[in-house]
Structures are given as C-alpha cells and as structure tokens.
Amino acid sequence: MHIIEKIQKNLGFNALEKIDPNTQETVGPDNPLGNNALAQAGIPAVLLGIYNRLETDPTGDVLSPSDNLLVSIFGKSKDLVLARISEYAKNKDVHREQELEHIAKESVRVIKEEIGTDASENSIRNFVSKNKPEVLLYLPPSLELGKLFENNNLDDRTGKMEGPVSSFMHRMEKSFNTSSSN
C-alpha cells in the first residue's frame, strides 16, 4: 500500500483521486467536495511539504513532534497553503486548520514508521525520491505548490502522466535524481 493510501485510510477519508494530466482535474466523475476535497488537496500538499523540507534538510526538525506541524512544514507560507487548500475544497470551516494539522501528524507518523527510527540522510533522501512521484499524481494543480516551494517540477503536468513510455521516463528521472544519489 502506498503512503498516500495509508494516510487516507488511517484518517477515514474516501480514496483520493489521481489528477488527469490533460484536464488537470480529478479522474473520477465528480470533483470531490467537503472533507473529501480537503483530503484530496491536503494530504498530497502536506506530504510534498514534508518531502520538500527533507530534501533540503534530511536531519531537520520536520519529523519531530510539534504543536504546530504546519508551520514546521510550510513555514511562512502556511497561511497561503491553507487558503489555497480551502479554496480548492470550497471549505471555509474554522476547523480546517485543525484537520490539516491532524493530516500532518498522521503523515509524520507514517513516514517515521516507513523510514525507521535510525534513518540515515541517504535513506531519507531515497525514501523521498521513491515516494514523491506517486504523491504528485494526486496533487491538484490549482494549489501551485511548485511556485511556493520554488520547485517547478511539482506543477509540471508531465509528472502526472502514466503509461509505458511515461513510466520508463520516470524511471530514468529517478536514476538521475540527485537527491537519491547523495
């Protein structure tokens, strides 16, 4: 089971939908609403925020217990990320930040479980490079996280493409990825 599915199931959300690279919408028949839309945007956004921090500082505090993980993950961009997720979900509920904090805590717990307690910098980078492409398949492009994280690859449509040729190209990408070779 992939990490995004583990988090979704552990938190009791409906299955997340992959984003179609052509339409830039979810593949399913309807766009998600309410808490499902919050999960659709929130889970991949939180995971990519964590991955982004781990790529730049694998020994950093992003996986440490915190009362406000969203600040640890997104820093000064936290409010903007929350606003974009809320806009995507069409959810102005005052409890959305608490729900996203809950998603962040579960994400950190699952990541720590996956990488183990004595993970080296190299194993953390390998974990990120292995899991990041799958998470990108679920990231709604309207969040524009690539601009926020100054990483254009996050908003690139080709990262969401699947099939024999695309899969081969993604494997080639992984073999040349600098974060997995450090």
Q: pLDDT tens for residues 23-52?
A: 777 766 555 666 788 999 999 999 999 999
pLDDT at residue 22 greater than cutoff 80: no
DSSP H stretches of helix in 57-163: 69-74, 78-89, 96-115, 121-136, 145-148
Tell me what percent of the residues of the chain surpass a pLDDT of 70: 80
Two tokens at 145?
Answer: 């996280």
Confidence (pTM): 0.82
Question: Looking at the predicted structure, is the pLDDT value of residue 163 above 60?
Answer: no
Domain range list for the chain: 3-181
Sequence-distant (6+) residues with CB within 8 A of 121 are 58, 59, 182
Cβ-contact 47, 135 below 8 angstroms: yes
Which residue reads 């956004």 in tokens? 45
Can you give the pLDDT at residue 179? 47
Ramachandran category for residue 144: left, alpha or beta (phi over 0 → left; psi -120 to 50 → alpha): left
The per-residue pLDDT of the chain, averaged, comes to 82
| Percent of the chain predicted with pLDDT > 90 | 43
Helix (H) or strand (E) holding 40: helix 34-56
pLDDT tens digits, residue range 89-140? 887 777 889 999 999 999 999 999 999 877 888 889 899 989 999 999 999 9
